[in-house]
Amino acid sequence: MNQPPNTFLSLFPDSTISPQKTRLKITWWGDDPDGLVQGFRISFDSTNWTFTTKNDSTFQLQINGQDSTFRFWVAAVDDIGNIDPTPATNLYPVVNSPPSVAFNPGTEIPDTSFPVATFAWTGTDPDGNSTIKYYYYALNDTTTWRRINANLNTITLRQDSGIVPNSNNRLYLKAEDIAGIYSPVVKMPDTNRTWYVRAKVGNILLINDYFRAAPTDVGQAVQFYNLALDTLTYGVHSNLDIKVNNGGNIPKIKNPMFVETLKLFQCVIWFGNRSNSANDNTNFSLATETLPYYIASGGKLFFSTGFPTFLQQNYNYLEFAPVDSVTNATVGNPPVTTSTIVVNTNYPELQVGPSSPDAVRGIYPRATANVIYKLPFNVTYDTSKVNICIKDNLTSPKVFVMSVPLNRMNEIGTAIHFLRKVLALDFGIN
């Protein structure tokens, strides 16, 4: 008569088992005195059984509190289907470990922002990261928590999420596991610091990307743009300086935080400086990482800056602009009072001054783009290449690009009128 197999656990029933984590590995084996063991039936309730051919398995045990105890049964099955009538069994005390959460290094919030903020974090749990069920965040105090699904590890918050404009803000974050145990609370910014949120003002964002080594130049540029905007009926606008404090106002998470900040506004005016040296370049990397998304969402862009040497080989930095390429040669220091050639007569003539743009590079437009201005030069230089201003479309344009600082083309005061025309008639800013 065929005898049933015998089953054994790696820990014998009379063993004392210390509390285990909820992620538990159990090992077993079987012996058949007159045949072969083909597999095992396993269960945690002795009613519902699962067949396996393995000799071990890792189980994720779900508990509803700090700790619990589970009984496990395993019965060997021999090669003719006989099942061990006395399954091996044991009790496994399980203690739940709390999860933890931490903000990702290098994603710190700027000291100041508009009412948009993106946060990124990583949650862990000694019992297995899959045991994290929810994240919760609170803004500015911990009386009200908002729940986030555990499959998310970034969030972008706005005013309707609880961010308070014209005030100091702080984010609190915690995790909850499947047993209802919470992690310690973490804060952004850390310790007792906060970040200041500026309210959005107007529909235009003026981005100052001017090099700090020439404070007089910076001041003149800021004065020019503020004068151009403040004299308009809709000229109330917001300012963002991305050069101050070594770029301290630029979010670490550029997309979506910086992109969503731009989207708060109908129009972005991004102005840089002369780009006459390797040290004073406009932040083309930030521009190309963010502006295409802003423009695709319907935003309007006026971009004015000198074009540096590296753009000759790295045209991908101009993906946001209707620029095909940039001239290799530069035209240095156009004389003050040099006037532009107006290709599109809908716009006023501009004149260099009160100081000259340096190292001017011409820009080749893409097929659908339209040239607005050229600089006139003698026959030794191909004037067809000295395009200094283009727009992406003849009608309903979204993007204007200048390869010179507009503030250095205002000798006769027409640069202000040109900018106003672009904003009011081309962009329809209201």
Query: Which of these three, 95, 117, 137, is where a domain ends?
Result: 95
Paired tokens of 355: 């100081």
- Whether residue 1 lies inside any domain: the answer is no
Q: Strands across the sheet with 154-158, in order?
A: 100-103, 116-124, 154-158
- Whether residue 41 lies inside any domain: the answer is yes
pLDDT at 94: 80
Looking at the structure, do residues 188 and 213 belong to the same domain, yes or no? no
pLDDT at 19: 58
Alpha-carbon distances of 148 from 62, 137, 198, 220, 254, rounded to whole Å: 21, 8, 26, 47, 22
Looking at the structure, do residues 399 and 360 belong to the same domain, yes or no? yes
Number of domains in the chain: 3
Q: Find the length of the chain.
A: 430
Looking at the structure, do residues 62 and 163 belong to the same domain, yes or no? no
Q: Which residues are bridge partners to 51 per DSSP? A: 41
Parallel, antiparallel, or unpaired for β 116-124 and 100-103? antiparallel
* Nearest C-alpha neighbor of 226 from the set 211, 253, 208, 248: 208
Q: Angle, nearest 10°, between helix axes 414-421 and 215-230?
A: 50
Paired tokens of 398: 């979204």
Looking at the structure, do residues 347 and 303 belong to the same domain, yes or no? yes
Looking at the structure, do residues 289 and 312 belong to the same domain, yes or no? yes
Parallel, antiparallel, or unpaired for β 370-374 and 387-391? antiparallel
* Nearest C-alpha neighbor of 416 from the set 227, 206, 272, 202: 227
* Nearest C-alpha neighbor of 8 from the set 102, 74, 77: 74
Residues 248 and 334: their CA atoms lie apart, in Å, by: 34
Neighbouring residues of 120: CB distance < 8 A, sequence distance ≥ 6: 103, 104, 107, 153, 154, 253
Would you say 63 and 97 are in contact if contact means Cβ atoms under 8 Å apart?
Answer: no
- Whether residue 400 lies inside any domain: the answer is yes
pTM for the whole structure: 0.81
Looking at the structure, do residues 374 and 229 belong to the same domain, yes or no? yes
Query: Which of these three, 80, 95, 110, is where a domain ends?
Result: 95
**For tokens 């097929």, what's the residue?**
367
Looking at the structure, do residues 178 and 212 belong to the same domain, yes or no? no
CATH of the domain at 112: 2.60.40.10
Looking at the structure, do residues 222 and 88 belong to the same domain, yes or no? no
pLDDT at 217: 78
- Walking along the chain (430 residues) 10 residues at a time, the average pLDDT comes out as 88 54 84 92 94 91 71 94 94 85 96 97 89 95 95 96 96 92 95 93 94 74 89 79 91 96 97 67 88 97 85 70 84 80 92 81 89 75 75 94 92 93 90
User: Domain range spanning residue 126?
Assistant: 100-197
- Calculate the CA dihedral of residues 255, 396, 199, 261 and round it to 10 degrees: 0
Residues 120 and 236: their CA atoms lie apart, in Å, by: 33
| Alpha helix stretches (DSSP H) within 335-425 | 414-421
* Nearest C-alpha neighbor of 208 from the set 169, 253, 245: 245
- Whether residue 71 lies inside any domain: the answer is yes
Looking at the structure, do residues 245 and 391 belong to the same domain, yes or no? yes
- Whether residue 406 lies inside any domain: the answer is yes
Position 324: which residue type? D
Query: Which of these three, 170, 197, 224, is where a domain ends?
Result: 197
Looking at the structure, do residues 224 and 178 belong to the same domain, yes or no? no
Residues 328 and 67: their CA atoms lie apart, in Å, by: 71
Beta strands in 53-184 (DSSP E): 56-60, 67-78, 88-95, 100-103, 112-113, 116-124, 132-139, 146-149, 154-158, 167-169, 171-177
Ramachandran class of 191: left when φ > 0, alpha when ψ lies in -120 to 50, beta otherwise: left
Looking at the structure, do residues 111 and 188 belong to the same domain, yes or no? yes
Would you say 168 and 194 are in contact if contact means Cβ atoms under 8 Å apart?
Answer: yes
Beta strands in 267-346 (DSSP E): 267-272, 300-304, 323-326, 341-342
Q: Strands across the sheet with 112-113, in order?
A: 112-113, 195-197, 167-169
- Whether residue 192 lies inside any domain: the answer is yes
Looking at the structure, do residues 56 and 117 belong to the same domain, yes or no? no
pLDDT at 61: 76
- Whether residue 409 lies inside any domain: the answer is yes
Alpha-carbon distances of 204 from 234, 394, 425, rounded to whole Å: 9, 22, 15
